Structure 1
């Protein structure tokens, strides 16, 4: 259970940050996927409100980063705001960004893997990986690996569980497990256990002329976020980066995530929720995952609306998580050692 069971879908990120101010002040925080009018901006503003030592904003477009940073500096001039550009669809860009971060801070207390994207047509990462799987999972997988030395350094100086990795997922993960026989979504034959949830609504089950299934690609990537977190939970406790702290956050926010959706898809997604949060409300669950002291010990995996929430059964399977881990290592070309 979280410390504040009365919090829910309308809870403000600023309120959560104020409640847990002592766990923000003087600490180093990094947030990926920061852009104006998005959940990343709401998350960054909430953290900035309680005087972190360094707040690092990471995203693909420098102009958007600079816009958010300028806005935050106006409101909280005492906070050291840094911006770092990254393209999560390029492993070379990820490595360059990680090196830049290491030149700014010597320890990292909170890593928020907030970045995510959806695409309606097939695209590839620089390494030839389907882009939703590549940018939403493989990119954060590699970036987290490169941030691990900084996280370990923070964990040495903090109470167990206070150093955290927060990965953002979606209830959309329920539509697909990992398609190990077709992770690039080329519409290859897969075993029964890798097939999408059935029956899928027609819009979500859409197959493009080249065999690409955009919703299944997105759902697979969001399942990968949950399984990545599950594996981290199992293996990071010895480092003081407590397993429960790697939590998945569901957000139902009207942001720019679905900017490529056509009218039919946008309408179908709109019908999945009766309440769409603003960016401040959208940030609240991330703040709970990153800060709530009740989460210092392992007690759950997936959060929605500031509380623990059940994920799909396949997203809780340690065997699938381990298999995904090894596939992810293969796709970055090196081992991710958690020792």
Structure 2
């Protein structure tokens, strides 16, 4: 992995700020929660399982008694759960300083969610788009009363967006990709995360050219090749016995890095003083560096087409109305 000069010292005191980390009960998400809470932030840990989240919060607070962490019931495979989670935040909080769309699944066998979408495409992309939509008014109102750059949003992506996407980048006529490999479905969803970030920056960030919007900064974050449970999930790519054998070998070879390093780029993008206005909309790579995504990820017409497609899909299901 590339070296980095990232330091937690570049993250200011976050006392009084509120953040949400989806998938915050394990892996990179958990380390991100710890990093924010350690600097004094109030953090909502988005997770499907209350028991697992509660256990994770208890574990963190044993090491960091001052940690102000709260469970947020969030199942990204169910749009109604996403909307309910956003409503809870808007009902209970008067400000939201950061949203880290961290949760994801990788390389799982083909399946459909209760909403009828391929599991990886909904969990990794569509539900985060929907969550962002319903929290954007709160982020914008928070930005209006804070110095520029305080309010930010990070979408986690992967270098898989460049390696596994179908021809054209997004297969709009068949987003489920049922007949394709599981990693192609994953790559498409991760490309969508970057394109979403680009459009958010164009519409609501510095690139919009509208001074009313320039207070929110955005980033698409590739955390690195990290030793997390994602590697155990990828049974659509290889049998679980193969993954169990390969993972320790990849650790020894340095191919998989420690989980705490996986949070570095997220913390850099969401809170570090070293992330600047000119970086908004950028692709952040390991660790805490600005990189260059794939050609598809840099295609403005593809980004616009995906935004319009997504908005049409979700509006058609009545999911975009005000909370």
Alpha-carbon distance in structure 2 between the residues aligned to 1:78 and 1:250: 27
Aligned partner of 1:316 in structure 2 is 298
Contact preservation (8 Å) 2:45, 2:53: yes
Alignment partner of 1:301 is 2:282: yes
Contact preservation (8 Å) 2:86, 2:135: yes
Structure 2 counterpart of 1:278, from 230, 241, 258: 258
Q: Report the alpha carbon displacement of residue 270 of structure 1 after superposing the two structures with TM.
A: 7.4
Q: Report the alpha carbon displacement of residue 324 of structure 1 after superposing the two structures with TM.
A: 0.5
Alpha-carbon distance in structure 2 between the residues aligned to 1:336 and 1:228: 16
Contact preservation (8 Å) 1:243, 1:297: no
Q: Report the alpha carbon displacement of residue 249 of structure 1 after superposing the two structures with TM.
A: 2.8
After TM superposition, the structure 1 = structure 2 runs for residues 262-273 of structure 1, keeping only pairs within 5 Å, are 262=239, 263-264=241-242, 267=246
TM-score using structure 1 length = 0.81
Alpha-carbon distance in structure 1 between the residues aligned to 2:15 and 2:202: 29
After TM superposition, the structure 1 = structure 2 runs for residues 32-71 of structure 1, keeping only pairs within 5 Å, are 32-36=22-26, 38-52=27-41, 54-71=42-59
After TM superposition, the structure 1 = structure 2 runs for residues 224-243 of structure 1, keeping only pairs within 5 Å, are 224-237=192-205, 238=210, 239-240=212-213, 242=215
Aligned partner of 1:7 in structure 2 is 4
Q: Judge which range, 108-117 or 240-249, deviates more.
A: 240-249
Alpha-carbon distance in structure 2 between the residues aligned to 1:220 and 1:277: 24
Contact preservation (8 Å) 1:117, 1:136: yes
CA deviation map 1:77-112 (0-9, x unaligned) = 334321111111111111111111223311100100
Contact preservation (8 Å) 1:57, 1:83: yes
After TM superposition, the structure 1 = structure 2 runs for residues 162-173 of structure 1, keeping only pairs within 5 Å, are 162-173=150-161
Contact preservation (8 Å) 1:130, 1:183: yes
SS where residue 153 of structure 1 aligns? helix
Alpha-carbon distance in structure 1 between the residues aligned to 2:276 and 2:114: 37
SS where residue 116 of structure 1 aligns? coil
Structure 2 counterpart of 1:109, from 73, 97, 119: 97
Alpha-carbon distance in structure 1 between the residues aligned to 2:172 and 2:261: 35
**1:294/1:257 Cα in 2 relative to 1: closer, same or farther (>3 Å)?**
same
Alpha-carbon distance in structure 1 between the residues aligned to 2:61 and 2:254: 34
Aligned partner of 1:287 in structure 2 is 267
Cα RMSD (Å) of the superposition? Answer: 2.6
**1:335/1:159 Cα in 2 relative to 1: closer, same or farther (>3 Å)?**
farther
Aligned residue pairs total: 300
SS where residue 81 of structure 1 aligns? strand
Contact preservation (8 Å) 2:147, 2:215: no
Contact preservation (8 Å) 1:31, 1:113: yes
Question: Structure 1 stretches of 5 or more lacking a match?
Answer: 187-210
Alpha-carbon distance in structure 1 between the residues aligned to 2:296 and 2:138: 31
Structure 1 counterpart of 2:16, from 10, 21, 26: 26
Aligned partner of 1:221 in structure 2 is 189
SS where residue 58 of structure 1 aligns? strand
Q: Judge which range, 300-309 or 126-135, deviates more.
A: 300-309
Alignment partner of 1:255 is 2:228: yes
Aligned partner of 1:331 in structure 2 is 313
Contact preservation (8 Å) 2:104, 2:123: yes
